[in-house]
Amino acid sequence: MAQDQMKKSRHLRIGIDTGGTFTDVIAMQDKTRLAFKLPSTPAAPAEAIVRGIHRVLEEFAPNFVDVGRQSLRVEIVHGTTVATNAMLERKGSRTALISTEGFADLLEIGRQARPDLYNLAVERPAPLVPRELRFGLSERIAPDGSVLTPLDEGELARLRRAVVRARAESIAVSLLFSFANPEHERRVVDALEDLGIPVSASHEILPEYREYERTSTVVINAYLAPLVGRYLKNLQTGIARMFGSSASSRLRIMQSSGGSISAQSAAREPVRTILSGPAGGVVAALRVGELAGIDDLLTFDMGGTSTDVALCRGAALTTNEARISGFPVAVPVLDIHTVGAGGGSIARVDAGGALRVGPESAGADPGPACYGRGESATVTDANLVLGRFGGQGLLAGEMKLDAARADSALDALAAGMSRVSGKRVDRYLAALGVIRVANANMEKALRLVSIERGHDPRRFTLISFGGAGGLHCAALADALQIPRVLIPADPGNFSALGVLLADVVKDYSRTVMLAAPAGSRVRSAVAAHFKSLEKSALDDLRAEGFVRTGIRFIRSLAMRYRGQSFELDVPFDASRDPAPDFHELHRARYGHADPARDVEIVSVRLRGVGVTDKPRIAASPAEKRRAAHSKVKAQVRLRSRPEFVPVYDRGDLEPGAGLSGPAVILEYGSTTLVPGGWRAGVDRWRNLLLQPAS
């Protein structure tokens, strides 16, 4: 980019999403947009990110040093898997738990619910804090917040000595009923903060009732804090070194709730980043759906390691009942279901002779066999053997594929299948089997978020993204009778776009346990609580750089029928009684409601939103219907026999273009398979729309 273009706009936005196989980057400046992928570096994720930023500068600002570092304003938003991987691999810190005396074993006792109802030999995951690192304090707060057993200084001194002897690297504090009165927790934090290790307190992370979920959440936060803190500190140091200390650069981290926060806030509360990467894709899907005039969406994000699906009806659904590695996480997260099926999912024949695909993944290293280092057959290898990459490599030819190595891996898998079945299975039948099993796993995930929750997938549009999604989306839509598939522009970098579209979001809550009064009296019952939460939100968002006019609040009430164990989040409008809305939501979720039954407000919840400048998604002025023409054909196996199908370059498909399947559509970062009996067209937003021809 020349110097005069640099002078035109100094604001450079960079979105980065780190996946298990690839790190996706999208950069925007004025109307210029750059999207690319590069291999992830799982051992040191920041390395791929720094390389990606360097490449952005090379493309956008080759004269960056000459123009002047100080004059460039850079905004970087990052979706990260560091917290997720640390939980899945149990590679967090040595964490101590401070609890009320007699409650030290709460993490092991948990809930009565069994994770596998008919498994008599079920084993719970080992708690993140072993018994020798759990410490009880002689103190007690009552449910109403009154002090039953005072906390004395001798107890605090004893606790401090015990934590030092235990060589804890992080500390979680969760005392009984601290959400009603946090005085004792604050004193514990004050007594331990000069030890130089992170301290996470439940009244700051999750001031709500349910002792087990609250304790689990704060323990996860403490378990992740040192690792995520070091990672973000190193990343910030690398960015500062790149741009110079006086350059205007800001790093934000995507949260699981669909909003971003500053790197400093993410380092303090890493539990909010556990689904950081998948959340970006849902945010982008909502924006693209809004532009295309589509409200009801099933999002389908198939990457190299996993597939993430979610259901959206005009807005993303959130939940406070998520679990990670078997442990509850009660902070707000987008309601995303993840299954271990991606391009790198490894195929094998199990001990019973059945073909399995995933959840184990070849990841970025060694990767699928066709990447040149791996040996196991994966979904990507199966697609290559079947010719579904149109005879091309990946990333617009930047990444060559080793077809011979993929053939060898599928031959080995086919030999294993032949031994078990007693019939000859060739590499092509084995590859088709891998695709069918992977599709079945992903179909099950889509059924879980739709049919099993009372939603008819025939009323939704499947929005497909991720590097591998385009090869499988039509088959999944066909299986679930979904009438339309939308594949956005740059689907391989879609989650990276989503993190750039996200607002800064802060979530606050407070347990109140109020009998829901009738009519307008609800407003006076919760007004003081909302006022207090709004003050906290204003202070925090102003610290993030927002002025009052750029801040908005979203209020809700966690409500339930008296005697129920779980709540529903009901949007709060001060001008109306929330009870009818609760009954309607209860009927939609569970199929029944009882308007004559007493309702109670369990918690008040506030979402503070700092509205960010959004990157512009431009539309074409008009669509002109035209048939697409292909000059290239490739041998593809949609079934057991090969056939020659046309291959299109998506960049050549202008708005209004249409084509009939079977066909392969190539683009940087993704490949789309249009089966026979399907048609594809391009709308004015350059979305690719797939529909059955009938």
Give pLDDT tens digits for 677-691. Answer: 999 999 999 999 999
Q: CA nearest 281: which of 10, 90, 484, 464?
A: 464
Kindly tell me if the per-residue pLDDT of 64 is higher than 80.
no
pLDDT of residue 316: 87
Least confident interval from 105-109, 361-365, 560-564, 660-664 = 361-365
Scored b (16 or more CB within 10 A) or e, 353-389 reads eebbbbebbbbbeebbbbbeebebbbbbbbbbbbbbb
- Amino acid identity of 206? L
Buried b (16+ CB within 10 A) or exposed e, 626-651: eebebeeebebbbeeeeeebbbbbbe
Instruction: Judge whether 654 and 682 are in contact, CB under 8 Å.
Output: yes
Q: What is the pLDDT of residue 1?
A: 38
Supply 66's token pair: 């000459």
Torsion angle defined by CA atoms of residues 152, 155, 157 and 158, in that order, rounded to the nearest 10 degrees = 170
SS3 522: helix
**DSSP E strand stretches across 190-279:** 199-201, 248-254, 260-262
The span from the CA of 666 to the CA of 633, in Å, is 12
User: Residue 461 pairs with which residues in a beta bridge?
Assistant: 297, 484
d(CA 341, CA 438): 6
Quote the tokens at residue 87. 């939980």
Omega of the bond leading into 39 within 30 degrees of 0 (cis)? no
CATH class of 3-86+229-272: alpha beta
Contact call for residues 408 and 369 (beta carbons, < 8 A): yes
Is the bond preceding 642 in cis, omega lying within 30 degrees of 0?
no
Nearest CA to 585 out of 604, 612, 610, 566 is that of 566
- Taking alpha carbons only, the member of 483, 388, 377 closest to residue 430 is 377
Give the pLDDT of residue 21.
80
The CATH architecture assigned to 92-221 reads 3-Layer(aba) Sandwich (3.40)
| Average pLDDT value for residue range 451-465 | 94
- Domain parsing of the chain, residue ranges: 3-86+229-272, 92-221, 273-333+454-497, 345-438, 503-610, 633-692
Burial of 661 (0-12, 13-18, 19+ CB in 10 A): buried
Select 273-333+454-497's CATH number: 1.10.150, 3.30.420, 3.80.10, 1.10.10. 3.30.420
- Which tokens in the block code for residue 492? 């391989």
| Helix (H/G/I), strand (E/B), else coil: 123 | coil
Separation of alpha carbons 324 and 329, rounded Å: 7
pLDDT at 68 over 60: no
**pLDDT category, 9, cuts 50, 70, 90?**
low
Tens of pLDDT, residue by residue over 477-502, are: 999 999 999 999 999 999 999 999 99
CA distances from 209 to 113, 175, 177, 503, 536 (A): 18, 11, 7, 28, 20
**363 or 148, greater pLDDT:** 148
Q: Give the end-to-end CA distance of the chain in Å, rounded to a whole number.
A: 48
Instruction: Please say whether the beta carbons of 364 and 20 come within 8 A.
Output: yes
Mean pLDDT throughout 67-94? 81
Q: HEC profile for 464-496?
A: EECCCHHHCHHHHHHHHCCCEEEECCCHHHHHH
Task: Calculate the alpha carbon distances from 107 to 192, 422, 502 in Å.
Answer: 22, 49, 34
310's enclosing H/E stretch is strand 307-313
Burial call 93-118: b when 16+ CB within 10 Å, e when fewer: bebbbbbbeebbebbeebeeeeeeee
Q: At residue 5, does pLDDT exceed 60?
A: no
> Whose CA is closest to 496, among 254, 689, 302?
254
Q: Give the SS3 label for residue 685.
A: coil
Indicate if the pLDDT at residue 234 is higher than 80: yes
> Residue 130: CA atoms inside 13 Å, Cβ hemisphere, count?
7
Task: Decide which of 236 and 1 is more confident.
Answer: 236
Give the CA radius of gyration of the chain: 26
Going from the C-alpha of 55 to that of each of 280, 338, 584, 690, the distances in angstroms are: 22, 31, 51, 33
- The answer to whether residues 73 and 11 touch, using CB atoms and an 8 Å cutoff, is yes
Kindly tell me if the per-residue pLDDT of 62 is higher than 80.
no
The dihedral over CA atoms of 322, 328, 331, 335, expressed in degrees to the nearest 10, equals: 0
Instruction: Return the residue matching tokens 């529909």.
Output: 691
In the Cβ-directed half-sphere of 461, how many Cα atoms lie within 13 Å?
A: 25
Q: What are the structure tokens assigned to 484, written together? A: 């339309």
Local structure of 124: helix, strand or coil: coil
β-pairing, 22-29 with 11-18? Answer: antiparallel
For 549-570, what is the mean pLDDT? 93
Asked whether 391 and 634 are in contact (CB, 8 A), the reply is yes
Report percent pLDDT > 90 for the chain: 64
Residues 195-226: tens digit of each pLDDT: 999 999 999 999 999 999 999 999 999 999 99
Query: Residue 478's Cα: distance from chain center in Å?
Result: 26
Is residue 278 within 8 Å of 334, Cβ to Cβ? yes
Whether 380 has a pLDDT exceeding 70, the answer reads yes
- pLDDT for residue 384 is more than 90: yes
Question: Secondary structure of 60-90 in the HEC alphabet?
Answer: HCCCHHHHCHHHCEEEEEEECCHHHHHHHCC
| Mean pLDDT for the chain overall | 89
Residue 462 has pLDDT above 90, yes or no: yes
Q: Which fold, 503-610?
A: Dna Ligase; domain 1 (3.30.1490)
- Which residues are paired to 298 by β-bridges? 311, 462
Q: Examine the pLDDT at 368 and tell me if it is beyond 60.
A: yes
* Tokens found for residue 474: 């039509």
Q: DSSP state, 49?
A: H
- Mean pLDDT (whole number) for 621-630: 77
Distance CA(563)–CA(155), nearest Å, equals 37
pLDDT digits (tens, 9 = 90+) for 157-179: 999 999 999 999 999 999 999 99
Mapped onto helix, strand or coil, the DSSP state of residue 636 is strand
Q: CB within 8 A of 6, min separation 6: which ones?
A: 61, 63, 64, 67, 72
Domain 92-221 identical in fold to domain 503-610: no
Distance of alpha carbon 185 from alpha carbon 106, whole angstroms: 17
CA-closest candidate to residue 606, choices 546, 524, 529: 529
Q: Are 462 and 473 in contact (CB under 8 A)?
A: yes
Give CA 410 to chain center in angstroms. Answer: 32
User: What would the pLDDT profile of 299-343 be if each residue is shown by its tens digit?
Assistant: 999 988 889 999 999 888 888 888 888 899 999 999 999 888 999
| Residue bearing tokens 């750039």 | 500
Q: What is the mean pLDDT of residues 394-417?
A: 91
Query: Of the given ranges (56-65, 255-264, 308-317, 581-590), which has the lowest mean pLDDT?
Result: 56-65
Residue 383 pLDDT exceeds 70: yes
609 pLDDT more than 90: yes
Q: Assign 3-state DSSP to the chain and report helix, strand, coil percentages, each to 5.
A: 35, 30, 35
- For 542, other C-beta atoms within 10 Å of its C-beta total 14
pLDDT tens profile 566-584: 899 999 988 888 899 999 9
Stretch 402-411: mean pLDDT: 95
What is the distance between the alpha carbons of residues 548 and 555, in angstroms, rounded to a whole number? 17
CA distance 503 to 509: 19
Of the pLDDT bands very low, low, confident and very high (cuts 50, 70, 90), residue 520 is low
